Amino acid sequence: MEPPSASPHRGHVPWQGLLLAVLVSPLTFWNLPTTAQLAIESVPFTAAEGTDVLLLAHNVSENVKGYTWYKGERGIDSHQISIYLTATQGIIPGPAYSGRETVYPNGSLLFQKVTLEDTGFYTLQTISSDLQAEKASGHICVYRE
């Protein structure tokens, strides 16, 4: 004897089946709005020359396997500050690394002894274990004391 839900008695496809197919389709899944948006916050909001600034990464997804920090808003390879791999906790410095930046395991970036030239946008890109990339930018504003 079959369970009652296994076979529809009429010739149509049950709508529940269609709904399930839509929900589990990888394409649809990809397009679902992410519940938590990656965001960067500069702490403090403006910093005196020579002080330290923390770029806090908020809403980092839990299965992140790597971070890349860039100077600027666009995430250009030649402006890479450093890559952080969560598996090894290894940091690979990039062309824009000045020796004053530290990436923490949670993706936040500590910028030490900021100069006026450090004013500008910084971009974090995260890669999750299912190879989904997310990007967000924050702004550092340095003033002369």
Ligand X SMILES: *[C@@H]1O[C@H](CO)[C@@H](O)[C@H](O)[C@H]1NC(C)=O
| List of residues contacting ligand X (CB under 6 A) | 35-37, 39, 56-59, 104, 106, 108
Cβ proximity to ligand X, 36 vs 133, nearer residue = 36
From the number of C-beta atoms within 10 Å of its C-beta (0-12, 13-18, 19+), residue 25 rates as exposed
Shortest separation between residue 54's beta carbon and ligand X, angstroms: 6
From 69, 67, 75, 68, select the one nearest 53 (Cα to Cα). Answer: 69
Q: Percent helix, strand and coil across the chain, each rounded to 5?
A: 15, 40, 45
Task: Please state the closest distance from residue 67 (CB atom) to ligand X, in A.
Answer: 11
Give the residue with the Cβ less far from ligand X, 28 or 37.
37
CB-wise, 35 or 88, nearer to ligand X?
35
CB of 15 to ligand X, least distance (A): 31
Is 116 within 8 Å of 144 (Cβ atoms)?
Answer: yes
